[in-house]
Amino acid sequence: MNMMNQPQVKDARNLPDIKPVLSLKDVTLRYQTDSSIVTAAYDVSFDVYRGDRFILLGASGCGKSSLLKAVGGFLKPASGEIRLDGRIIDAPGPDRMMVFQEFDQLLPWKTIHQNVAYPMQKVGRWSSSEIMDRTRLFTAKVGLEKFADAYPHTLSGGMKQRVAIARAMAVEPKILLMDEPFAALDALTRRKMQDDLLELWSDTRSTILFVTHSIEEAVIVGSRILVLTPHPGQVRAEINAHQFAYADQGGGEFGTLCSRIHQMLFTPCPRHPKG
């Protein structure tokens, strides 16, 4: 795939007739430890539009994975609200599918085809023949049609992540939630997976909320980047990055943006709370 010809997402904030798919308003997340209440994210607001590849970028412990869990319906905000297509999120649902960092998220007793088909069977939106067709289609989209009858333990880490992505996209969720899905891969496989994701996105135009702590990954994969401060996570900036691709690495504009983001990540933020 020629990444220089990668389709670009327009900044939907400049199009007032388009409503966000996902909207967070003044969201604060807290959790209880044995000795105290910890603030994971503080007063976070952002909008994700249809077709966005929206990145939550920050250092470890800044609450980005907690924000993803809250969008998934697994963590209730201490304050603020999260809406999907205008409706407040109060529980998990098939309109939000998640891909985790861990390789063991597949069902080990099911083949690749069976893993991809399983969520569609549970949702009940498609007939058996439609599920079979969609399973074949999305397995092929991630390049694993030759491994349809293989079991997860026979696959590499990168192949397992491809299956997880195919399984999630096959359900046609309103938003795909990805929690550092390539962080545990070696550098070459990680780059290939980033390329594969962008190619798959160019075909499906899925809406993606992607968590990472890698500045370079954020700039390459994302069309928009939300920069979060260190713990507790607070919005520092929102940046458009849809114009960048692999070919831009090492270029002046790419390097300047990465340096600017690095400074934001590690410079104290005004009104940053303790917790």
Determine the pLDDT at residue 9: 41
Q: How many CB atoms neighbour CB 156 within 10 A?
A: 12
Quick one: pLDDT at residue 34? 82
> What pLDDT is attached to residue 26?
97
The reported pLDDT for the residue numbered 12 is 43
Distance CA 182, CA 152 (A): 17
Q: Which residues contact 127 (CB under 8 A, 6 or more apart)?
A: none
Which pLDDT score is estimated for 32?
85
Instruction: Convert the pLDDT of each residue in 160-206 to its tens digit.
Output: 999 999 999 999 999 999 999 999 899 999 999 999 999 999 999 99
Higher-pLDDT residue of 85 and 254 is 85
Q: What is the value of pTM for the model shown?
A: 0.88
Three-class secondary structure of residue 16 per DSSP? coil
CB-CB contact of 243 with 227 (8 Å): no
What pLDDT sits at residue 141?
92
Tens of pLDDT, residues 116-153 = 999 999 998 999 999 999 999 999 999 999 999 999 99
Query: Quick check: bond before 232 cis, omega within 30?
Result: yes
For residue 270, the model assigns a pLDDT of: 58
What's the CA gap between 223 and 242, in Å, rounded?
Answer: 4
pLDDT at 13 over 80: no
Q: Exposed/middle/buried for 94, CB within 10 Å: 0-12, 13-18, 19+?
A: middle
Cα–Cα distance, 115 to 60 (Å, whole number) = 31
Q: State the Cα–Cα distance between residues 170 and 12, nearest whole angstrom.
A: 25
- For the sheet containing 208-212, what is the strand order? 96-99, 175-179, 208-212, 53-57, 224-228, 235-240
Domain boundaries, the chain: 20-95+174-275, 107-172
> Would you place residue 248 in the very low, low, confident or very high pLDDT band (cuts 50, 70, 90)?
low
Rounded mean pLDDT of 228-250? 81
H runs (alpha helix) in the chain = 64-72, 112-123, 128-141, 157-170, 187-204, 215-221, 252-265
CATH architecture of 20-95+174-275: 3-Layer(aba) Sandwich (3.40)
Q: Binning pLDDT at 50, 70 and 90, where does residue 5 land?
A: very low
